[in-house]
Amino acid sequence: MSDDHSADSPALPTGVDRRSFDGRMRLSTRGGPVYGEPVDSDGWRAWDAGRSKLGAMLELGMDTGLVGGETVLYLGAASGTTVSHVADFAGATYAVEFAPRPVRDLVGVAEARDNLFPLLKDARDPDSYAHVVESGVDCLIMDVATRGQADVAVSNRQFLADDGRLLMAVKARSEDVTADPDEVFADVLSALESAYEIIETERLDRFHADHLGIVARPK
């Protein structure tokens, strides 16, 4: 796996850096460790792009628009691997996860991050957390492995500021395990167009097989 990065790649958000771990320059944020990731003597912890779709998008140089300090709604937070890194550099971070077992881990992650707010809710039912999540968040990050991923992104558009960003990782096999991933991705992009303007897409196969990274802004 190459560690080469184009000189004209978008700048990383403030609070995200490339640090040396085991002789390799890797994405990192500063915060308490969460999933056994290496931490250097200055408190920077490696961000494993092989375990994080957003990390993969940043490693591949996608223009996420993240600058640091954003308010974030994160859908599909699981036990906190990626959202912990997000909370290290973002502002208020609302983390939605529907499975009780991972949420217990997520609550533990949030104990060391006072800007991280775990929500045991279903991302397919945004009305169930509309009373908690502030409107006009800067960024909607989505990694939800379910059929109808585009529908989830569209229904959660209500929380996103008009100048905000959608950062979405589409898992083809969650939509249709038998379909060609390119056809799945085309259908998802078409469904998103009712609410979003697509800015950039890139396959994440270098880190995550049959996944598509999407950057979009609300219409």
Residue 6 has pLDDT above 50, yes or no: no
Long-range CB contacts for residues 17-25, cutoff 8 Å, separation at least 24: 17/44, 19/44, 19/46, 21/46
Looking at the domain assignment, is residue 1 inside a domain?
Answer: no
CATH number of domain containing 181: 3.40.50.150
* Residues 190-209: tens digit of each pLDDT: 999 999 999 999 999 999 99
pLDDT of residue 8: 66
What rounded mean pLDDT belongs to the chain?
Answer: 95
* Residues 149-188: tens digit of each pLDDT: 999 999 999 999 999 999 999 999 999 999 999 999 999 9
Looking at the domain assignment, is residue 157 inside a domain?
Answer: yes
pLDDT of residue 9: 76
Residue 14 marked ligand-binding: no
Looking at the domain assignment, is residue 109 inside a domain?
Answer: yes
Residue 150 marked ligand-binding: no
Residue 111 marked ligand-binding: no
Looking at the domain assignment, is residue 122 inside a domain?
Answer: yes
Structure token digits, residue 197: 């303007």
* Residues 48-81: tens digit of each pLDDT: 999 999 999 999 999 999 999 999 999 999 999 9
Q: How many domains is the chain partitioned into structurally?
A: 1
Domain that holds residue 142: 72-218
What is the number of other CB atoms lying within 10 angstroms of the CB of residue 55?
A: 25
In 146-179, which positions are buried (b, 16+ CB within 10 angstroms) versus exposed (e)? eeebbebbbbbbebbbeebbbbbbbbbebbeeee
Looking at the domain assignment, is residue 38 inside a domain?
Answer: no
Looking at the domain assignment, is residue 59 inside a domain?
Answer: no
Residue 182 marked ligand-binding: no
Looking at the domain assignment, is residue 85 inside a domain?
Answer: yes
What is the number of other CB atoms lying within 10 angstroms of the CB of residue 217?
A: 16
User: How far is Cα 42 from Cα 29, in angstroms, rounded to an integer?
Assistant: 11
Residue 193 marked ligand-binding: no
Residue 117 marked ligand-binding: no
What are the two backbone dihedrals, phi and then psi, of residue 104, each rounded to the nearest 5 degrees? -60, -40
pTM: 0.94
Residue 89 marked ligand-binding: no
Nearest to 165 by CA among 190, 196, 124, 143: 196
Looking at the domain assignment, is residue 162 inside a domain?
Answer: yes
- AA identity, residue 2: S
Residue 145 marked ligand-binding: yes
Q: Which residues contact 120 (CB under 8 A, 6 or more apart)?
A: 97, 98, 100, 103
